[in-house]
Structure 1
Amino acid sequence: MIGRIVEIADDHRHLFVNRGFMVVRDTEGERKELGQVPLDDIAAVIANAHGISYTNNLLVALAERGAPFVLCAANHNAVGMLLTLDGHHVQAKRIEAQIAASLPTHKRLWAAIVKSKLEQQAAALEAAGAPTAPLTALVRKVKSGDPENVEGQGARRYWGLLFGKDFRRDQNAGGLNALLNYGYTVLRSATARATVAAGLHPSIGLHHSNDGNAMRLVDDLMEPFRPVIDLKVWQLQRAGEEQVTPEAKRALAHTLYDDMQSRAGVTPVMVCMQKLAISLAQVYLGERDKLELPLPGLPLALAKNLNPE
C-alpha cells in the first residue's frame, strides 16, 4: 500500500483519533480543528515541531496499521520512532531465519546493496550534468562485505561532484545538509515500515553495527534510495531553495511516490522499498538468492524535470 507521509511541522498542535481519522487541533486561541487524515491512508507521521501532544489511542491506532510515529530533533534528523511489534503473520519465523543467516550471506547481500547505491549515485550525477565515471568505476571493485569500504570511497567523490568541491556532509549543519537530513528522515520512516511489514527485525543489520542504533537493518536497506533524496535536494538548490521550508519538505516527501525502474516495470519508490524488504526475508528463508533492488536510474518524474544547463 502507498500511504501518505504526514508531517506535523507547526508548534502547539494536539493529535487524537476520532472515528477512524487522525485529527489535528490547535492548542492555543480558539483551539480550532485544523485538519483530518484517514488513519488507513497514513504511511508515517513525522513530529517535527515543539509543543506537540498526542493521545495514546492515536499511537495505538497507528501501530495497529504499521505506520511509524517519528520524532525529530532540531536538525530534522529522526531521534525516535514508534513501530508496531506485530508486523507480519509469520514474523517469528522470519526473525528466526534472520538471526540464523550466516556471515557470508550478510556480506554477499551488503555487496549487492553497495553496488546498487553506487549505480544510483552515478545516475544522480548524470542527471545533474556531472561526471559519472568516478562512481561507475567503483562498482566493479565492490567485493563481498565491501572490506575496502568502496562505499565510503564513493561518498568522498560523490558529494563534491554533486554539490561542489566545497560541500561537506555534516548532519549538524544547516542549508543543504538540513534538507538532506529531512529527506533521509522521510526515507528512513518509509524503510522502517517496509522492514517491519516484511516480518524482519529492524535492529538485526547486514552491515551497520553501531550498538546504539536500533535501526541497523533499516539503515542498510535505505542506502540505494538515498540518491533519490540527494538529487531532489540538488534540484531544490538549483531552484534557489536551500532551507527547510514547507514547500521543500513537501517536495522531499513526494519523492517516495515517484516511479523508479524495477524488474517488474515502473514502480513507486515506496513500493520498491517494500519489495526489497520482502526479498530479503525470502533470501533468509531460502526462497530466493538475490535481493530485489531497483534498476539503475532515477525516478521518472524527477528525471523528467531535470534539464541541466
Structure 2
Amino acid sequence: MDRIVDIATDGRHLSRERGFLKVSDDSMEVGRLPLDEIAAVIVHAHGTTWSSSLLSELADRGVPVVLCGINHTPRSVLMPLEGHHAQGGRLRAQWTAKSPLMKQVWKKIVVAKINMQAAALEAIGEPPAPLHMMTRKVTSGDNSNIEAQAARYYWPLMMGDQFRRDRDAPGINALLNYGYTVLRATTARAVVAAGLHPTIGLHHTNRSNAFALADDLMEPFRPLVDCAVRSLGARNGFKVDTEAKQTLVRLISLDLPLGEGQTPVSVALCKLATSLGQSFEAGKLSLALPSPPDALTLAGLGS
C-alpha cells in the first residue's frame, strides 16, 4: 500500500539503509519504512537533513519529496528526471497536443470536479441539483468559467458562509493545505510515472508553477479532502495534528468507482495520468476519470 512519510519534528536526519528509509535523531534511529511502500515524503520541520543516496533511491522509485513552508503549503517538490520507458515520445506528444484536445480534456476535468462537489454536498444534506445543472453548461475549455460559478455555490454550503479560501490563513485553511499537499504529491508522482511533464498544464499556466499538470489532474479529487476536513473540524477542531494528518493521508487509499470496479485514489490518479498520455499520443481523447463514491462513504470521511 502507498504510504506518506511526514517529517514534522525538527532536527531529523533521513537516510537509506538496506532498502529502508531510516529516520534518526542525534544518531539514534527513531523509525524506518520500506522504500518500496513510500508514495511521498512531506517535510514540514526545520533543520531536516538527508543523504544523497536516499534522494537517489526515492527518485528511482518516482517518489516526490515535498518541502513545505509555513501553514503547510508546498514550497518545493523534488521529482525524478525520468519516469517512463517511452518518456521522450510521450513528452513530444504532450508538447505538441492540439488546443481542441487540451480544451476537451479540461472540460472533462471540470465536469468531474463539479460532479464530485455535488456528491459531497448531497452527503452532508445540502442540495446538489444546482451543481448538476452547471455541468450541462461546461463548454470546451470551460470558457464561461463554470468551475468558478460552482465554487461560489459549493464553498458556503460545505464550510459555512464565513469561509474564505486563503492558503495563508490558519485553522481550516491550514488543514485544507495539508490535504491538498498530500493529493498534489500523489498526483505529481502519477504524472511523472506516466511519462508526462508536470510543468505543461491544461489550465493552470502560471509560469512559476512547476506542477501545473498535477494541479489540473487533482481537481476532481479535491472535494474528498474538503469532506474529510469538514468532519475533522466538527469533531476535533481545525488542528493540524497527528490524527488529522493521518486521516488526510488515508484518503489516497480510499476506493472510488472506476470502470467496472473500485480503485484506490492513488491508483485512480495513475490511471488518469496514463490515459491522458495515451490520449496525447493517439490524438483522441479517452480519459479514465472515477465517479464519486456513495454518500455514506463521503459522509464518513474524516470520522
TM-score band by shorter chain is over 0.9
Partner of 2:89: 93
Partner of 1:7: 6
SS in 2 for 1:239: helix
Matched, 1:180 2:179: no
Matched, 1:170 2:169: no
How far residue 46 of structure 1 moved from its aligned partner, in angstroms, is 0.5
| Alignment partner of 1:109 out of 87, 93, 105 | 105
Greater per-residue helix proportion: 2
Partner of 1:20: 19
One-letter amino acid of the structure 1 residue matched with residue 179 of structure 2:
G
Q: What stretches of structure 1 move > 6 A for 4+ residues in a row?
A: none
Partner of 1:62: 58
**1:258–1:300 contact (8 Å) kept in structure 2:** no
SS in 1 for 2:202: coil
1:237/1:228 CA distance change after superposition, 3 Å: same
Q: Distance in 2 between matches of 1:11 and 1:198?
A: 34
1:207/1:305 CA distance change after superposition, 3 Å: closer
| Alignment partner of 1:260 out of 256, 259, 263 | 256
Matched, 1:143 2:142: no
Q: Distance in 1 between matches of 2:121 and 2:257?
A: 17
SS in 2 for 1:207: coil
Q: Distance in 2 between matches of 1:107 and 1:299?
A: 30
**1:45–1:67 contact (8 Å) kept in structure 2:** yes
| Alignment partner of 1:229 out of 219, 225, 228 | 225
Q: Distance in 1 between matches of 2:294 and 2:202?
A: 25
Partner of 1:271: 267
Partner of 2:78: 82
Q: Please, which runs of 5 or more residues in structure 1 have no aligned partner?
A: none
**Deviation sequence 1:236-276 (CA, Å, 0-9, x none):** 11213311011000000001101111113111011110110
1:262/1:108 CA distance change after superposition, 3 Å: same
Q: Please, which runs of 5 or more residues in structure 2 have no aligned partner?
A: none
How far residue 306 of structure 1 moved from its aligned partner, in angstroms, is 8.4
| Alignment partner of 1:217 out of 193, 213, 219 | 213
How far residue 235 of structure 1 moved from its aligned partner, in angstroms, is 1.1
| Alignment partner of 1:133 out of 121, 126, 129 | 129
One-letter amino acid of the structure 1 residue matched with residue 5 of structure 2:
V
One-letter amino acid of the structure 1 residue matched with residue 285 of structure 2:
D
Q: Distance in 2 between matches of 1:299 and 1:124?
A: 7
One-letter amino acid of the structure 2 residue matched with residue 9 of structure 1:
A
Q: Distance in 1 between matches of 2:268 and 2:222?
A: 13
Q: Distance in 1 between matches of 2:10 and 2:150?
A: 39
How far residue 156 of structure 1 moved from its aligned partner, in angstroms, is 1.3
| Alignment partner of 2:244 out of 242, 248, 252 | 248
Q: Distance in 1 between matches of 2:157 and 2:295?
A: 20
| Alignment partner of 1:292 out of 276, 285, 288 | 288
Work out the percentage of aligned pairs sharing the same amino acid: 51
How far residue 302 of structure 1 moved from its aligned partner, in angstroms, is 4.4
**1:260–1:294 contact (8 Å) kept in structure 2:** yes
One-letter amino acid of the structure 2 residue matched with residue 55 of structure 1:
S
SS in 2 for 1:267: strand
Normalized against structure 2, the TM-score is what?
Answer: 0.96
Q: Distance in 2 between matches of 1:208 and 1:41?
A: 30
Q: Distance in 1 between matches of 2:21 and 2:85?
A: 26
SS in 2 for 1:113: helix
Q: Distance in 2 between matches of 1:236 and 1:130?
A: 18
How far residue 289 of structure 1 moved from its aligned partner, in angstroms, is 2.5
**2:123–2:298 contact (8 Å) kept in structure 1:** no
Q: Distance in 2 between matches of 1:163 and 1:286?
A: 41
**1:24–1:34 contact (8 Å) kept in structure 2:** yes
How far residue 32 of structure 1 moved from its aligned partner, in angstroms, is 2.0
Partner of 2:203: 207
Provide the aligned length of Structure 1 versus Structure 2. 303
Q: Distance in 2 between matches of 1:209 and 1:14?
A: 35
**1:16–1:23 contact (8 Å) kept in structure 2:** yes
**2:247–2:302 contact (8 Å) kept in structure 1:** no
How far residue 303 of structure 1 moved from its aligned partner, in angstroms, is 4.2
How far residue 9 of structure 1 moved from its aligned partner, in angstroms, is 1.0
**1:260–1:267 contact (8 Å) kept in structure 2:** yes
One-letter amino acid of the structure 1 residue matched with residue 96 of structure 2:
A
